[in-house]
Structure 1
C-alpha cells in the first residue's frame, strides 16, 4: 500500500514538473516574440513571470531581457522610472552571470553595467569610473567593447579637466586603455593571420572561417578608430612641452624613487622626448638603480641619436631580453629591425620584424617594411626579367597583410600595393610567358620565398 502511495506521489510530482516546464517554455516563447518586435508592454509582464517562476530555464530570458530593458530605458518618460529600469538591467545582467556562468563572460557583464551607468549618468563621475575599473578587476581579458573602452578613458579625461584628478592619473589611465586596445587588437589579428595567409595561398575559406575573418577585421577597424579618439582626447596634454617641465621639476626630489623614474622614463620615451638632457638623466639614473627593458631601451635611443649603431643594438637587444610585456617587446624588436634595415642587412631586419609580429600580430607597419625590402631587392632575385618583376607580387602580398591587421594604414597600403602591382608582370607578360598559376621560387637570393603567378 505504502509503495503504491509513494509511486502515485512520484507520478504527481513528475507530471507537475513536466507541466511547469511546459508553462515556462510557452511563456518564454510568447515573451521572445513580443520582445523581438519591441512590444514592451506585452513582453515586460511575461519577463517578470519568467524571473519569478523560471529564472534558470533558458539564457534567452536574459539575452532578450537585456535588449528589452535597454529599449525601455530609452523610452522612459521620467528620470525616476529610468533609474528603476537601469537597476533592473543591472539585476538582469548579474542574474545571467549567476544562472549561466559557463555561457557568460564576466568582462561582458561588467562592461555592460558600466556602459548603462555611463549612458544614463548614474552617480558621480567617480562612481562611473569605478564601474569601469570593476571590469578590469573582474575580467580584464574580456574587456573587449571598443565603445566601452573609449568611455572609460573619456571619464578619466573629464575628471582631469574638472581638476579632480591630476595629469599623472590621466597618463596612467591612458597607458591602461591603450594596453586594453592593443591586447584585443593582437587577439583579433592573431585570429585573422592564418586565414589571410590561407587566402593568399588561393585556398578557399570555410563559411565559419570567412565569418571569423570578417568579424576580426571589423573589430580591428573599430579598435583603430577608438585608439585615434583616445589619442585625440589626450591631445597636447602629453606633449614634450608639458612632460619635460613636469618631470624636471621633481627630478632632484625623485631621482632615487625607482617607480617615479620608471614612469618618467616610459612617458618621455613613448613621446620621443629624447633630445632634452632630462631624458639622459632619467635613463641613466634608472639603469643604475634597476637595469630593465625600459632603461636599456632608452640608452639605446640615446646611442642611436649619437650615431653609434653598434652600441644602440647592444642596448636594444638587452632591452628585448629583459622585456616581459609582449607589446613592449614587439616595439623593441621593430626598432632593432629598423637599425638593420638602415644598414642594408635585410635578412637580419626581416628576422626582427617577424619577431615583432610574433609578439604583436597587429603591427601592420612591420609587414610594410618587409614589403619595402622585397621590392628593393627585385633586381637581385630571379633568373629572368619576368621572375625579377614577380618579386613585386610578393611585396604586394605583404603590403596587403599590413592593411588587414592594421586598418589605420589602409590609405598607405592602397597606394603601396598599387605601386608594386604596377611594377609586377601584367596580363600580357603572363600570357607571353605561359606562366599563369605557376609557382616562382626566389631561393637564389635572401628572400627565400615563392609566389604563385595570378591566373588570367
Structure 2
C-alpha cells in the first residue's frame, strides 16, 4: 500500500513539474513577443511572473525585464520611481547570481551605483561605497564614463564636508584618471587600423564602420569626463595648495619612497618645479630609488636651468625606466618638443611617433607632426605643386589627431581645413601631371608619401 502511494505521489509530482514547465514556456513566449514589440506594459507582468516561477528559464527574461522597468521608470512621476529602482536593482542582482558567466560584475555594480546616485538613494558615503564595490569586484568592466566621474565627484564632495582629506582626493583622481586613460587608449588602439584603412581608400564593412562610430563616441565621452575631472579638482591641485601640503611632511617623510613618489608626481604634473621643495623631493627620491619619475623630475630641473643636453639625458633615462605607457608617452612627447624647438624635425617626429605608440589616443602628437610637415612644405617638395602637396599630408595628420582625441578636435579640424586650403585644388590637379590616386613621395626629412585626392 505504502509502495503504491509513493508511486502515485511521484507521478503527481512529475505531472505538476511538466505543467509548470509548460506554463513557463507559454508565459515566456508571450512576454518576449510583447517585449520585442516594445509593448513593455504588456510584457512587464509576464516577465515578472517568469522571473519568480522559473528564474533560470532564460537570460532573455532579465534582458527584457531590464528594458521594461527602465521604460516604467522613464514614465513614472519623481515620487513613484523609488520602488521601480529597487526592482531593477533586484533584476540585475538576480541575473548576476544566476548567470555570472554571461554578466559583467563591474558593469552591474557600477550601474546599480549610478541608479542609486541618479535617484538619490543613500547618503554620499553609501553611494561612494556602491561605486567602490564595482571598482574592487571588477575594475576591468567598470567602464561607464558617467559612473567613473561620479565615483570621483563623491570623494571631492566628502572632502568639502570634512569626511575626506586632500590626499584622498588626489589618490582618487589618480586612479580614476588612469582608468580613463586606459579606456581611451584601448578605444584609440582599436580605431587606428580602421582609420588607416579608411585613409587608404579601402572599403569598410558595416561592422568596421560601426566599430569606428562606437570608438569615436567612447573617445568623446572619456574626453569630456577627463576635462570634468580636471575641472572638479580645480584649485585643489594648484601649487599654492600642493607645496604647503607636502612641505609640512617632508622632514618626516623624506625616507619614505612611496610618499616621495606621490609628492614628486603631483608637483611635477603641475609644474611646481621652481619651489625648492621640488628639488628636495626629486633629489631625495633619486638618491633612495632612481626611477623614471625621479629622472624625469631632474630633467625638468635641468631644463628650467637652461641645460638642454642634460635635460634630454635625464628624459631619455626616464623613458627607458618608465613602465606605465601613458607616463612614457608624456616623456617622449616632451623630448619631441625639445627637438622640435631646435628645428630637428626628424628627431622630433621619431619621438612623437614613440609617444603615439605608447598612447594611441595622444592626438596632440599627430597635430605636432602635422605642424612640422606644414612648416617644411617649401623645402620638401621639388616644384610648386609637390610643395603644396605636403599640406595634404599635414591635413591627414591633423584629421587623425581630431579623431583619436576629441578634446582637441576643434583645433585639429581647423588646422586640417587650413592645410587643405593651402594644398592644390581641383583645378591645380587637372593642370598637373598627377592624377587622383597617384602617390607623391617627398624628400628631405619627411621621407613619406601622400595620395592625390579625388576632389
Match of 1:372 in 2: 371
Match of 2:383 in 1: 384
**Superposition TM-score, scaled by structure 2 size:** 0.91
TM-superposed deviation, 1:53: 3.0
TM-superposed deviation, 1:236: 0.9
Cα–Cα, structure 1 residues 383 and 121, in superposed 2: closer, same or farther, change >3 Å? Answer: same
Cα–Cα, structure 1 residues 147 and 439, in superposed 2: closer, same or farther, change >3 Å? Answer: same
Match of 1:194 in 2: 193
Cα–Cα, structure 1 residues 74 and 442, in superposed 2: closer, same or farther, change >3 Å? Answer: closer
Match of 2:48 in 1: 48
Moved more, 317-326 or 358-367: 317-326
Match of 1:428 in 2: 427
TM-superposed deviation, 1:437: 1.8
Matches within 5 A, 1:2-401: 23-35=23-35, 42-73=42-73, 83-401=82-400
**C-alpha distance in 2 between matches for 1:36 and 1:267:** 52
Q: Deviations along 1:389-412, whole A, 9 cap, x unmatched?
A: 111100100000000011111221
**Superposition TM-score, scaled by structure 1 size:** 0.91
**C-alpha distance in 2 between matches for 1:104 and 1:189:** 25
Match of 2:402 in 1: 403
Secondary structure of the structure 2 residue equivalent to 1:451: strand
**C-alpha distance in 2 between matches for 1:202 and 1:428:** 22
Gaps of 5+ in 1: 1-5
Q: Is the 8 A contact 1:110 1:135 kept in 2?
A: yes
Q: Deviations along 1:154-188, whole A, 9 cap, x unmatched?
A: 11111011111001101111111111211111111
Q: Deviations along 1:103-128, whole A, 9 cap, x unmatched?
A: 32222111111112212223331121
Secondary structure of the structure 1 residue equivalent to 2:248: helix
**C-alpha distance in 2 between matches for 1:122 and 1:52:** 25
**C-alpha distance in 2 between matches for 1:449 and 1:23:** 69
Cα–Cα, structure 1 residues 444 and 23, in superposed 2: closer, same or farther, change >3 Å? Answer: same
**C-alpha distance in 2 between matches for 1:77 and 1:38:** 21
Q: Is the 8 A contact 2:440 2:452 kept in 1?
A: no
**C-alpha distance in 2 between matches for 1:451 and 1:149:** 41
TM-superposed deviation, 1:315: 0.9
Match of 1:3 in 2: none
**C-alpha distance in 1 between matches for 2:129 and 2:177:** 18
Gaps of 5+ in 2: 1-6
